[in-house]
Chain A
Amino acid sequence: MSDQLTYPDVVQMAVPFFIAAILIELLWIVLKGRGGRYETRDALTSLIMGAGNVISGIVLGFIAYGFFMVLWDITPLDLGTAWYVVLLCFVLDDLRYYWVHRFGHRIRWVWASHVNHHSSQHYNLTTALRQTWTGTFTFMMIVRAPLILLGFHPAMVLFCGGLNLIYQFWIHTEAIGRMPRWIEAVMNTPSHHRVHHGRNPRYLDANYAGVFIIWDRMFGTFVPELDEEKPDYGLVRNLGTFNPIRVAFHEWVGIFRDATQPGLTWRQRLDYCIKPPGWSHDGSRDTSEAIKRKHLARNPQDAGTPGFPEGG
């Protein structure tokens, strides 16, 4: 009866490990005087965002799960529960993560949920826990539909998603420089993910990977961390508040205000929801492409280097 299939809630089980790892990283930074930075209000906000994410999962999780169980009823396929099926599920779910994450940076409706993960100017293990409260409203559970229709049980898919999230915890640190070459080649690492959190023009829209960095290499979004350009963490326009409610909802408020302003066509209203962050109907704001273009205008020698298109 694979309808009754259950896996442990690994993210909840990992909470004590998260706390212990944060204390170890903090101790390391304090003792060594390097390897990252902590600040009280920033860390507190990140941790509250993490707790809110767990609560939102408990409160709203049934929506995605209900959707998945409907698909599971529809599909005639059942791949079973062998270990190699779980392994395959983990790899394919990581591909799913790559695309959801890429949409999260390229579609403002999805960015509205994901933006808060990038809203800290710090990069430490608490940043990993700065997770969205509003993921359900992005409808990105649709991207998991093919997996379930292929015959991976919903509980298995969510189990793999939880493992994926736990993997990504440890890479949110400046205490680790580079991992051995073969690991950097295949896996997402602190170095690769620091690039993803960078607001430097060079590092925008890069390294969407969850566990395996190979997806970025395959789909052309990989940018290596350059020793000569340290990532500057945060948003292109940094927040002026630590209030968790504002951190969680600010981009949704922004979409609402933009899309409901007077004098727009319906197409423009829709575009404020689905175009990349920074799009505006009058060109008064900058998308990541515009930011990169302006950077190249100021620094033409950077054309063709990692993260920038060829000049001309």
Chain B
Amino acid sequence: MPLHILGILVVGGIAGVAVLLHLLGLSRVRRFGDEAAARAAWAAEFPDIPANRAVLCRNRAAALIETPQGPGVVWPMGADSTARFLTGARIARSRDGLTIRLPDYTAPRIRLTLDPDEAEAWLTDLEKTA
């Protein structure tokens, strides 16, 4: 197959599928139903380290997790989620919440959407523990 035809097919195919998925409403981000769901999402990544407490943010897109080994966070990855400890995290206010930067090549930046007062509370909370 001539290379330029292959190129058009590949680029067109990728763009077409992505646009179609978006139009079908399949870009929706995961929301945690309750704190138990957030804790389960933590347990899926760290089965040995229990989540003593999960604090859901108001839009239920993420949760702070308290563990015996320090604080962590669960947050959505598309329709799914992942989790990390906040060891070495740099946390800063952003326009719509907080941005957490981790020294982790697989999770360099976590953007949390929080109300202003909520962002302030989370920041205070995290500065106490992280």
Contacts and interface: CB of A to CB of B under 8 A. Distances in A.
A145 to B, nearest CB: 29
Contacts of B18: 40, 43-44, 47
Nearest to B9: A15
Contacts, number: 111
Nearest to A256: B105
Contact of B13 (A9, A12, A19, A42): A19
B68 to A, nearest CB: 16
Interface in A20-38: 22-23, 26, 30, 37-38
B38 to A, nearest CB: 15
Contact of B107 (A19, A37, A48, A240): A240
Contact of A240 (B3, B6, B11, B106): B106
A240 B81 CA distance: 8
Interface stretch (A68-76, A89-97, A149-157, A231-239): A231-239
Interface in B90-109: 102, 104-109
A82 interface: no
Nearest to A252: B105
Interface string A121-154: 1100010000000000000000000000000000
Nearest to A15: B9
B26 interface: yes
Ranked nearest first, the 4 interchain pairs of A and B with the lowest CB-CB distance are: A240-B107, A121-B80, A40-B27, A238-B82
Given A9-B1, A39-B79, A238-B77, 17 more contacts: A23-B20, A30-B24, A38-B24, A39-B21, A39-B27, A40-B27, A41-B27, A47-B13, A121-B79, A239-B106, A239-B107, A240-B82, A240-B84, A240-B106, A240-B107, A250-B105, A250-B106
Interface string B21-43: 11010110000000000000000
Contact of A22 (B17, B84, B104): B17
A39 B105 contact: no
By size class, the interface of chain A is 35 or more
A51 B22 contact: no
A240 B109 CA distance: 8
A23 B10 CA distance: 14
Contacts of B118: none
B48 interface: yes
B17 A43 contact: yes
Contacts of B77: 42, 121, 238-240, 242
Nearest to B46: A237
Contacts of B22: 40
Contact of B17 (A19, A121, A232, A242): A19
A254 interface: yes
9 contacts: A22-B17, A38-B24, A39-B21, A40-B22, A122-B79, A240-B104, A241-B107, A241-B109, A242-B77
B85 to A, nearest CB: 11
A16 interface: yes
